[in-house]
Amino acid sequence: VLDAAKGSFGGIDACLGFLATARAPRKTVLFGTISDHAGASRSAYHRVTRAALAQAERVFVAGPNALRPRRLARSEFPGRIFMEEDREKCVAALVGSVIEDELIYVKSSTVDDLQGALAAAFVDRP
């Protein structure tokens, strides 16, 4: 599910809601840049990462703020949060670990061009 036009912080909880009832052997969320949040970006990324992990098995975070949830990755959710500032590397890690019928939800803004990175990665996938 590609939702990569605007990564507005205010709408993320509603966007993640469908994951609760979706049926898939594994659910993954990929976040790019999250915009329109008040306060520190670390707090915003912690909140959306926690919300995503309430519905999905794993979360990937790509882009310049990718390392914001690193404390969560080390303490509360080891092995479930994958962070990479380089979008191509992040997408490659995700695509390289996809399982059959996995549900992937992508939330980002157009500045990240995760759509292009995903298209290229899936086209090149054996």
* Tokens of residue 32, six digits: 């790019």
Domain span at residue 81?
2-123
**H-helix or E-strand spanning residue 2:** strand 2-3
pLDDT computed for residue 4 by the predictor: 63
User: Computed over its alpha carbons, how large is the radius of gyration of the chain?
Assistant: 13
pLDDT computed for residue 34 by the predictor: 80
Dihedral sign, CA of 41, 47, 48, 52? positive
pTM of the predicted protein model: 0.86
CATH number of the domain to which 41 belongs: 3.90.190.20
pLDDT computed for residue 108 by the predictor: 81
Q: What pLDDT, in 10s, does the model give residues 106-125?
A: 888 766 667 777 777 777 65
CB 86 within 8 A of CB 8: no
Who's near 19: CB < 8 A, 6+ residues apart? 27, 29, 52, 55, 56, 103, 105
CA distance 35 to 67: 16
Per-residue confidence of the chain (126 residues) as pLDDT tens digits?
Answer: 776 655 555 567 777 888 999 999 999 999 988 865 556 677 788 888 999 999 999 999 999 999 999 999 999 999 999 999 998 999 999 999 999 999 999 888 766 667 777 777 777 655
- Number of domains within the chain: 1
